[in-house]
Amino acid sequence: MEISERFEEIQSGLPRLWEKLRNPKIPRVAVAVPSLSLDLEGLPLPGGMLHFEERMLYLFHLLSQPACHLWIYTSHLIPEQEIDYYLHFLRHVPFTHARRRLRMQPLMDREFRPLTQKMLERPALLQRLRRALRTAPAAYLTVYHSSQLEMQLAVELGIPIMGTDPRHEAMSTKAEARKLFQELGLQVAPGVAGLSSLEDLSQALVEMQQNGQLSVAQPKVVVKQNRGVSGLGNKGLSVMSVWSLLVSELEPWEKAARLAQSLKRNWGDAEGKAFWSRFERLGGLVECWVPGEPVSVQLSISPAGVEVEGVCEENLDGQGRYRGAILPAADGLAGAVLPPARKVAEALAKKGVLGRVEVDFLVGSAGVYALDINMRKSNTASALRQLTALAGGAYRPEDNRYRSLSGKDKTMYTTDWLEVGPQATSLHDVIDLATEDGLHYSSASHTGAIFHMLGGVGATGRVGVSCVGNGLEEAHELYRQAGDCLGKSPALV
């Protein structure tokens, strides 16, 4: 039997497992593997990427269920003080009870490659894990991203992935997502898909100028690789420098040929060469740049149907890379994206997709543009899960409010990019300084700051922080206080 057939047999039990786990008293084991199982080759990655594995430590909230055992695998050792820090935020269970049910398993391998791959290369580790899972009444994998590697790991362990099926991964590529949006009648930015070379891009730009999609008033485009993450894999381009060529009397094929040569000269630096090499390997598309506010909708697709879990307003830097988010998004933005997001999720459900998905939009004066489909635990999805773990409430799509257990509306401002000063060179410094300034999240008021990716602060000079307030102004103020406390006065990203 091939691996895909074996996986299908295992994964077919997911709906039954879902139903079984609705009873919180059923013992279960969640095996967490926060592997960055993405094609990252050729992307301009920030330093300290391995510490993004710590982003999934929000899964500690599963330990609030006394019957749950959580086993987390990581590439590197997570300091015990960082573990204690997150366990402190648990509700309803004693610290010691939760700690007994938590098993941290570092592989002590800091090489930058997928954690899942490292596990699969260790047959003794897999054998021990299989043996330990035999007595578990219910067990499942929870992962950052479901790829072929995670499929193989699920088969090796004989447990399903609590998430999207890796065989549906292609639906989240830029080209396939755009195709689905068009089939559903959603607005997409004018552009051309199915490109795989500079020559293809040049021909597409010539066609877009001829069709009136590019003009002196609107000369910008965004070139997108089929697979990207957090805005990496996108590259902005203005055609003004070659406008005279585009409007010349030359034949279209000759314009395209000359334009390709111009692009090779202008983007011939190391980063540009890496971009084009990856673009040719993965394929991609080009779209007109349209102004607007980026908004992300998190949805859950289960056998019971589609549920909206949250709407986030994303903060991007000048190059379109993710820097943070506000949740819930402003009412006008949420109201504009909820109907099309449901439409996309319902279409994915009909194609057999189960698990959490994210649909990204751009809301501008010309309407709502559908951008991307993500089938991974993205930054905004992780932030939303973290808010749920802290406040214990839920998002209400009917009025675009996040209501905590205390019955109050909450707003979160979150970022992975809070820079720190020289007095915060370790996780101990961050925890101590925030404690002295009274910034830590309080389960009594359901407000305050919680830090993440603490293990990398010394190496990267930055830390993640999520600030929860009774409104956006309070959340912003907590963020400013956190920056002042750690030695940098931050601008809102």
Please answer whether residues 369 and 187 qualify as being in contact, where contact means their C-beta atoms are separated by less than 8 angstroms: yes
Q: 82-98 as b/e, with b when 16 or more CB fall inside 10 Å?
A: bbebbbebbeebeeeeb
Into how many domains does the chain fold?
A: 4
pLDDT at 440 over 90: yes
Residues 321 and 248 in one domain: no
pLDDT of amino acid 490: 63
pLDDT of amino acid 383: 82
Please answer whether residues 344 and 373 qualify as being in contact, where contact means their C-beta atoms are separated by less than 8 angstroms: yes
pLDDT of amino acid 48: 79
pLDDT of amino acid 302: 87
CATH number for the domain harbouring residue 447: 3.30.310
More confident residue, 234 or 271: 234
CATH number for the domain harbouring residue 312: 3.30.470.20
Measure CA 396 to chain center. Answer: 21
Rounded to the nearest 10°, the torsion over CA 440, 445, 447, 449 is: 10
pLDDT of amino acid 489: 63
pLDDT of amino acid 491: 58
Cα distances from 61 to residues 56, 57, 262, 392, in angstroms, run 11, 9, 53, 10
pLDDT of amino acid 376: 85
- What is the domain extent for residue 464? 410-493
Share of the chain above pLDDT 70, in %: 98
Residues 18 and 76 in one domain: yes
Residues 136 and 256 in one domain: no
pLDDT of amino acid 380: 79
More confident residue, 306 or 391: 306
Residues with Cβ within 8 Å of residue 94, at least 6 apart in sequence: none
Residues 264 and 341 in one domain: no
pLDDT of amino acid 183: 97
User: What gap in Å lies between CA 10 and CA 304, rounded to an integer?
Assistant: 20
The secondary structure element, H or E, covering residue 313 is strand 305-316
Convert the pLDDT of each residue in 112-141 to its tens digit: 899 999 999 999 999 999 999 998 889 999
pLDDT of amino acid 273: 82
pLDDT at 298 over 90: yes
Residues 376 and 346 in one domain: yes
Which of 349, 381, 405 represents a domain boundary (last residue)? 405
Which of 288, 305, 320 represents a domain boundary (last residue)? 288
Residues 279 and 361 in one domain: no
Which of 251, 271, 288 represents a domain boundary (last residue)? 288
Residues 11 and 156 in one domain: yes
Residues 125 and 67 in one domain: yes
pLDDT of amino acid 10: 94
CATH number for the domain harbouring residue 136: 3.40.50
Convert the pLDDT of each residue in 178-215 to its tens digit: 999 999 999 999 999 999 998 999 999 999 999 999 99
Residues 23 and 65 in one domain: yes
The structure tokens listed for 29 are: 């084991």
User: What gap in Å lies between CA 225 and CA 206, rounded to an integer?
Assistant: 19
* Position 272 confidence tier, pLDDT thresholds 50, 70, 90: confident
* Position 107 confidence tier, pLDDT thresholds 50, 70, 90: very high
Convert the pLDDT of each residue in 42-71 to its tens digit: 877 777 788 889 988 989 999 999 999 999
pLDDT of amino acid 322: 83
Q: Return the DSSP state at 197.
A: S
pLDDT at 493 over 60: no
pLDDT of amino acid 398: 95
pLDDT of amino acid 1: 61
Residues 373 and 444 in one domain: no
More confident residue, 241 or 231: 241
pLDDT of amino acid 269: 73
Average pLDDT, whole number, for the chain?
91
Cα distances from 396 to residues 4, 62, 341, 374, 380, in angstroms, run 38, 22, 15, 22, 17
pLDDT of amino acid 323: 85
Q: Return the DSSP state at 280.
A: H
Average pLDDT of the residues in 62-87: 94
Residues 13 and 144 in one domain: yes
Residue ranges with strand state E in 338-469: 355-364, 367-374, 394-396, 401-403, 411-419, 448-452, 462-469
The structure tokens listed for 9 are: 């047999």
pLDDT at 268 over 70: no
- Bond into 328 cis (ω within 30): yes
Residues 176 and 325 in one domain: yes
Q: Among 258, 153, 114, 111, which residue's Cα sits nearest to residue 199?
A: 258
pLDDT at 289 over 80: yes
Convert the pLDDT of each residue in 1-45 to its tens digit: 689 899 999 999 988 898 888 898 999 999 999 998 888 888 777
Residues with Cβ within 8 Å of residue 10, at least 6 apart in sequence: 154, 155, 158, 159, 160
